[in-house]
Amino acid sequence: MELRQLRYFVTVVEEANFTRAAARLHLAQPGLSAQIRQLERELGQPLLERGARSVTLTPVGAAVLPHARAALAAVEQVAHTVDEFTGLLRGQVRLGFVSGIAGEDFDLAAVLAAFHTDHPQVGISLSEHTSEEMLDGLRRGDLDIALVGLPGGDLDPGLERDIVLDTAVVAAVAPDSESGRTRITLAELADRRLICLPPGTGIRGVLERACAAAGLVPEIAFEAANPGVLLQLAAHGLGTAVVPELTAPEAAEFGVRTLEITEPRLRGRLALVWRRELTGNPATKVLLGQLRIALTDRR
């Protein structure tokens, strides 16, 4: 019995199909089938039921599967342990981030480029989703690290965070409207046609939680994932945009005025979030450390 045969077996089970498993393993299908048959002969029992369209486990295969996965995980951990001693990192890190964050305000690409230069054997997969989707991904183990907007409330106990940015949430309106006014209450805001980020984003969550606590139901007229689009819509008088605080030059650039939201004041927080248990992948620990340093320097 060889480790590669166990890997082939696990892959076929995960794909439930020899053709897909062969493509994933970069093998010819006849060769993969021959290796699985050889494994079954060595064990003296069939592991897989081969159907016309899918492959399923036999009772023996179901009993063997967790041991096969444990053996592969143990070998991977041995390699990680050796790599830690030699300073060589391998593996894959799965990083998520909210739309619009990877730009001038935070040069995510520069951090990843520096990490790749130091650790070229580590693969990095990137995904861009709403904060809610990424927090769910962290809980499920589909992501290792995520840069998200926090909607408020407590995080899952299995997650840890660093606050990267804590800013006021403001209302943006067309420049020629409500001259002289500088504030708006949450109750007044909820009576307007609002322009907001989509559900699942941090700022949207902050607004919804505040309105729910006050017994208010806001009218959302427009939604967009890019805050710049929200400001453009507000500048044309299509509603009031709910956005992170802007500097005077930023407001002038987009052609809007901002009003402070009061009773209560709202705050948006951007956070680096990761799973508390990072023991399985040393590469994740190293990238997390570099991201924390870069974000701390930025604050």
What local confidence, expressed as pLDDT, does residue 80 receive? 65
Phi-psi sector, 97: left (phi>0), alpha (psi -120 to 50), beta? beta
What local confidence, expressed as pLDDT, does residue 64 receive? 92
What local confidence, expressed as pLDDT, does residue 13 receive? 92
What local confidence, expressed as pLDDT, does residue 277 receive? 77
Burial status of residue 29 (CB atoms within 10 A of its CB: 0-12, 13-18, 19 or more): middle
pLDDT in tens, 40-79: 999 999 999 988 788 999 999 999 999 999 998 888 777 6
CB of 64 within 8 A of CB of 33? no
Q: Which is it for the CA torsion 101, 103, 106, 110, positive or negative?
A: positive
pLDDT in tens, 157-175: 889 999 988 999 999 999 9
What local confidence, expressed as pLDDT, does residue 102 receive? 53
What local confidence, expressed as pLDDT, does residue 59 receive? 93
Domain 91-162+271-298: give its CATH architecture.
Answer: 3-Layer(aba) Sandwich (3.40)
What local confidence, expressed as pLDDT, does residue 81 receive? 67
Q: Domain coordinates of the chain in residue numbers?
A: 3-86, 91-162+271-298, 165-269
Domain 165-269: give its CATH architecture.
Answer: 3-Layer(aba) Sandwich (3.40)
pTM over 0.75: no
What parts of the chain have a pLDDT lower than 50? 104, 299
Its CATH class, for the domain covering 3-86, is: mainly alpha
Query: Do 3-86 and 165-269 show the same overall fold?
Result: no
CB of 262 within 8 A of CB of 141? no
What local confidence, expressed as pLDDT, does residue 275 receive? 87
